[in-house]
Amino acid sequence: MAEQILLEARGLVKEFPAKGRRKVHAVSDVDLTIRAGETLALVGESGCGKSTLGRTLIGLIPPTAGTVTFQGVDLTALSQRELAPYRRQMQLIFQDPYASLDPRMTVRDIVAEPLVTYGVCPDRAATTQRVRELLDAVGIPEEFLYRYPHQFSGGQRQRIGIARAIALRPRLIVCDEPVSALDVSVQSQILNLLKDLQERFALTYLFISHDLSVVRFMADRVAVMFLGRLCEIGGGADVYAHPLHPYTRFLLEAIPRADPRLRDDSRAILQGEIPSPIDPPAGCRFHTRCPYATDRCRTETPALRPLEDRLVACHRAEEL
Amino acid sequence: MDEYTLKIEHLSSGFFTERGYVPAVDDVSLTIGKGQVVGVVGESGCGKSMIARSVMGLLKYPGRITGGSIALAGRELTGLTDRQLQPIRGRDMAMIFQEPMTSLNPVVPVGRQMREALLLHEDMSRAAAREEVIRMLSHVGISEPEKRYNAYPHELSGGLRQRVMIAMAMICKPKLLIADEPTTALDVTIEAQILRLIRDLSRETGMSVLLISHNLGVIAQMCDKVYVMYAGRIVEQADALTLFDRCAHPYTRGLMDSVIRLDASPRRLPAIGGVVPNLLRLPAGCAFAPRCPHAGEKCRAERPELDQIGPGHWCRCFEGRRS
C-alpha cells in the first residue's frame, strides 16, 4: 500500500517578536510529512517549539515563512475564509482538561458547539442525538449529558475534550500533551481510548509529548525536536532501539527505568540547560550541550538528511 | 540516639470539612534509617503529601493530626507548638517541593534568602554565611555561584530554581530531607541531574531522604525501601528489589503494569479500571475492592490488615499472600 501523505510542511519558520527588536526562534526551517492514518509523535523538552509547530501546522498560528500543504492544498496561501473547510478536518486536544472546557457550559453544549458552528445537524434534537453518540464513543455515560465540567474527574474531562475534537469527523488531530495532567492509571485508559478511536474513525494523530514512555506506546514514527529544529525522524521502534542523534540518545538514557536493578551511577547524564530560543547557538543548536561537538558543529547548521532507515541532523551521526 | 532518623507510628491526619472528616492519612507507620532513601508512591489524593506536611508541621486549618506519633532522631514532634518546631524545621529537617516558586521569595535574591536561613539557625558572621551559601550553590552544581547569589528566582530556569531550593534545604545539613515530587515539573534530562544530585548528597552527608512520587521509575532509581499508598493507607511495603520483583498487592500490581515498556509495542496498555474512591465515602471493606480484579465477598465486607508476608515485606490484602 502506498503511503498517502496527508500533510506536508516545507521550510516552516515561526518567529515571535521579543524585547528590543529581538526574535524568539520558536520553529526554524522545519520539513515534516504526516502520512494518512499514522501517529507521528513530536517529542522534545519544554520550550523546544513542539506546541508552536503543532499549532502552525494546523493553521492556528500563521507561519513566518514556509508552506503547509494539506491533502495537496497549500494552506498558507488561503484566506481565513477559504481556510474554514480545511480547519474542520484538523482538530486539537489540549493538555489541561481543567482549562480547556468552559465551566459554564453543559457537556451537551460543549460537544455540540462545533456541530452547531458548522451546521452539521438539521435541528436541535439531531444535534443532541449526535452528542450522545460521541459521548458513548469516548465512554461517558449518557445520563451525564447535562452536567457541568466541574462534576467530572480529570480523566472524564479529557474524554469530553476528545468527544469535541472528533465531533466533525476530522482527518487529523493534534494531541498536545493529552495525558500529562493525569494519574498513571487514568493515563493508560485515555491512551487506549485514543488508539481505539484512531482505528474506528481512521484518524491521523500528531502526538506532542515530553513523556518518552507515552510516545513509545503511541507513535508509529517519532520526530525529535531541540530548540526549534528537528534532530531525528524515524520509526518508533527503530529510534528507541538505536538512536542516531546524540540528543535522542541522551533523552532516552535519561528516562528513569522502573527497575532498581538498572541503577547506574556511571551512566552519562546530559549536562547544562536548554539555551534560550531568543539567541540560539550558531551552527548545530545542540552543540553547547553535546559532548561530541567539533568546530564544524559550532559554525555549520547540520541539514536533516537520510541516514540508514531515517532522517537525522548531525554532522557526526555516522561515526558516533 | 534512636536508630531511625524518622519513625512514624500509627499516624492519622485529615481535614475537618463542612461535609465531614476527610481521613487523608489513616494509621500510617513508617521508618527511615540514617542515610536511607525511602519512597512513598501513590496517585493524587492518596495522602502521600499529607504525610510530608504532617512531619514538617505544615498542616493548615482545617487539616490536623488526629493521632499517632512522629519522632525525628528520637524526638517527638507531635504536640509541639509552631514556635517549638521552628528551630527544628530547616535545621534538622527540610523540605523541597514540586514547584520551587512556591517556596522561594520572588522579591529577594536567592543568595540572601539562603543566607537568612543559615543565620537563623547558626551562629556565624554574615560574611562567613555568604561564603557558606556560595559554597553550597557550587556544591549543587550551579555554575558562577557568586553571580547567581544576586539573582532573583524568576531570572533562573526551572532546573536552576530546583537546585537553589535543594541548596537552601541542605544549607543547615539536615538529618532528614523530604522531597515531594521534586522532579515532576522538570524535563527528563534535568530530572536525571536532580535525582543524581539528591542521591549523591545523601551518600556524602548520611542525610536520610523521604521521597514522595507518583513515578515508579523515579522510585526504582532512588529508593532503598518503598511504601505504596492507596486512599490514605499503606497497602504494601518492601525493600525496592522485593517490591519490583514480586509485589503482592493488586493495586501495586496495577501500578507496575501501567508502566510503559520501552522495548515492546503492545496494542493496548493494561489499565486499572474505575476511579479513586471519595475519602468521605470510603467503601466498608478494602478501599481498593471496587477496582480490584480479585475482590471477593470478604474484601467488600472487611478491611484487611497490613500483614507481614516475607522479610520486611508487608501487604494489606486478603489475597496478597498467594501472589
Query: What CATH architecture applies to the domain A5-89+170-312?
Result: 3-Layer(aba) Sandwich (3.40)
Give the closest residue to B93 by CA, choosing from B172, B33, B177.
B177
Rounded CA gap, B250 and B237, in Å?
A: 13
Interface predicted TM-score of the whole assembly (ipTM), two decimals: 0.87
Residue B132 lies in a domain: no
Q: Is the pLDDT of residue A312 over 60?
A: yes
A110-113 own/partner pairs: CB under 8 Å, 24+ apart? A110/A149, A110/A160, A110/A164, A111/A135, A111/A160, A111/A163, A111/A164, A111/A167, A112/A167, A113/A164
CA distance A26 to chain B (A): 17
Residue B116 lies in a domain: no
The pLDDT of residue B275 is 80
The pLDDT of residue B323 is 47
- What is the average per-residue pLDDT within A185-213? 95
**Hey, what's the cell of A265?**
551511577
**Hey, what's the cell of A258?**
522502573
Q: How many CB pairs under 8 A join A and B?
A: 120
What are the domain boundaries of chain A? 5-89+170-312, 99-169
CB atoms inside a 10 Å sphere around CB A87: 17
Give the pLDDT of chain B (323 residues) as one tens digit per residue: 458 999 999 999 999 999 999 999 999 999 999 999 999 999 888 999 999 999 999 998 899 999 999 999 999 999 999 999 999 998 999 999 888 888 899 999 999 999 998 999 989 999 999 999 999 998 888 888 999 999 999 998 888 898 999 999 989 889 999 999 998 888 888 889 889 999 999 999 999 999 999 999 999 999 999 999 999 999 999 999 999 999 999 999 999 998 998 988 888 998 888 888 889 999 999 999 999 999 999 999 999 999 999 999 999 999 865 54
Nearest residue of chain A to residue B275 (CA atoms): A186
Q: Which of B188, B189, B244 sits opposite A259 (nearest CB)?
A: B244
Give the closest residue to B158 by CA, choosing from B99, B198, B212.
B99
Strand A65-70 versus strand B307-310 pairing type: unpaired
User: Do B283 and B301 contact (CB within 8 A), yes or no?
Assistant: no
Q: Which of B160, B188, B266 sits opposite A255 (nearest CB)?
A: B188
Rounded CA gap, B75 and B7, in Å?
A: 10
User: Do B55 and B29 contact (CB within 8 A), yes or no?
Assistant: no
Residue B64 lies in a domain: yes
Which residue of B189, B200, B258 is the best one to mutate when testing the A interface, meaning the one whose CB has the most A CBs within 10 A?
B189
Query: Which of helix, strand or coil describes residue A205?
Result: strand
φ, ψ for residue A277, nearest 5 deg: -75, -5
Strand A73-74 versus strand A65-70 pairing type: antiparallel
In this prediction the pTM is: 0.91
Q: How many domains does chain B have?
A: 1
The pLDDT of residue B321 is 58
Residue with cell 527528563: B188
The pLDDT of residue B103 is 84
Beta bridge partners of B89: B93
Contacts of B158 in chain A (CB under 8 A): 46
Residue B82 lies in a domain: yes
Rounded CA gap, B184 and A180, in Å?
A: 10
Residue B9 lies in a domain: yes
Give the closest residue to A48 by CA, choosing from A304, A226, A302, A232.
A226
pLDDT band at A273 (very low <50, low <70, confident <90, very high): confident
Q: Find how far residue A7's CA is from the centre of its chain.
A: 14
Residue B285 lies in a domain: yes
Residue B53 lies in a domain: yes
Strand A204-209 versus strand A39-43 pairing type: parallel
Domain of B237, in residue numbers: 4-101+175-322
CA distance A27 to chain B (A): 19
Q: Which of A191, A251, A258 sits opposite B269 (nearest CB)?
A: A191
Q: Is the pLDDT of residue A2 over 70?
A: no
The answer to whether the Cβ–Cβ distance between A185 and B268 falls below 8 Å is no
Rounded CA gap, B315 and B235, in Å?
A: 6
Strand B4-17 versus strand A5-17 pairing type: unpaired
Residue with cell 465551566: A103
Nearest residue of chain A to residue B270 (CA atoms): A188
Share the mean pLDDT of chain A: 93
The answer to whether the Cβ–Cβ distance between A213 and B259 falls below 8 Å is yes
Q: Which of A187, A214, A260 sits opposite B241 (nearest CB)?
A: A260
CATH code (residue B232): 3.40.50.300
Written as one string, the DSSP assignment of B144-190 is SHHHHHT--GGGS-HHHHHHHHHHHHHTT--SEEEEESTTTTS-HHH
Q: Is the pLDDT of residue A82 over 60?
A: yes
